[in-house]
Structure 1
Amino acid sequence: AAEVSGSHGFDQSLDYRLALDVPTAALGNAADMLANLLGDLGSKIPKRVQFDILISGTMKEPHFKITPKGRAGGAGAAARAKVSEEIDRAKRTAEKRAQEEIERAKAKGEAEAKRAKKAAEDRIAKEAKKIRDRAEKEAKRVRRASKKAAEKVRKDGYAAAEKVEAQAKDPFSKAAAKATADRMRKEADKKADQILREGEKKADRILREAEAKIEQLQNAS
């Protein structure tokens, strides 16, 4: 059975609806395809199939659209629902796999970053140790040199003072010589202490400069 409704315009436009109620057996191969589809969905093929044929466009270029109704329409909706469900499932699976890949890449990146950071820290620590060791070695050398120079100044000053005292013969000369010798010893001690202080300052400056270099190296990393 068929029911036709609609109209066409003077511009040859078409707007018709053809409502069909056809026995399933009359569909031929299409009925077999529908049976297979409904079989997958767990349904049975109906004895009759109802659908609309919508006709639009123009007489020269008509357009046809078939819309199932009734049980066939329900089957079509069920088929669309099944397809939509499969698409959603595939989408969720893809999203899950993508997230897993992101997490693996993130973990790998973090591990590589940690290794790179550790390597950089080890390199900086090694370089810092070299700088500090060289500075401490140089500071020790400066202190030893200062101590040696101070001892020489003191020794020479004391020796000169003793020589002055030894040259005095009479009591008056001995008293004057002793005063001179004492003054010479004090001057020798003063010069020796000055040498030691300057050496200590120089050694401290060497160590401070080394620590500044180390800090600069660490901040640059």
Structure 2
Amino acid sequence: MIAAVLFLSLLQSSPNTLTPAERTAGWRLLFDGHTLAGWRGLGYDTVPTGHWVVVDGAIKKIASGNVPRVADGRPLVGGDLMTVDSFADFELSFEWKVTPGANSGVKYNVSEAMSLAQGGAGTQGGPTHSALGFEYQMLDDDRHEDGKLPSHRAAALYDLIAPNDRKHLQRVGQWNRSRIVFRGNHGEHWLNGQKVVEFELGTARMDSLLAASKYKTIPGFGQKRRGHIVLQDHGDEVYFRSIKVRPL
């Protein structure tokens, strides 16, 4: 009996797997722990493998300074990594860790067409393979400059809503467990078992936050859509694993 309990506990904690209960509840893996099947670069037909690789059961974003160079010495063009499939109402679970000073994120509600038309998340000369969408921020809060801004810290709805004081962030180099819930106009960010962000699209509060954000000039940015889930290429070395989703 004790051995059975220990085995079940191991199954529940094994990266890149689904428990029987998760399968019954409708969860599916977006990353199998071995390949990038089901993913492609935003604006590409394939994965930009000079920037994204699988290492030790995790998706690794290679730091821009370590990617291959083209003939004139410039780094090979990379870009965000997006799911081939798109999602409307869903719950997303994933684990992530950053290296010292690193910045990245998981984006959702992403329209590839809007992202390419607007020139990417920079919106003014930004990288064309960068997604526009709501972002679950991933950050080394202590070392990165963005850590000085509450709405840019880890687990924030980037540039819109800061995480609350229930947030507990693991030390750099350790795995964090995160969830995104997005159903109808309702959204939630969770970090290590605590709900740290909650919002409702179409409310006066959200409209005011959008109007004061970097997204204010992008038509339709704040509208709910069936969109892709995206891992951000911010140029830093970061890792993702146990990425799973279920429709709501």
TM-score, shorter chain, exceeding 0.5? no
Structure with greater contact order relative to length (CA < 8 Å, sep ≥ 6): 2
TM-score, normalised by the number of residues in structure 2: 0.17
Larger Rg computed on CA atoms: 1
Relative to its length, the structure with more helix (as a share) is: 1
TM-score, normalised by the number of residues in structure 1: 0.18
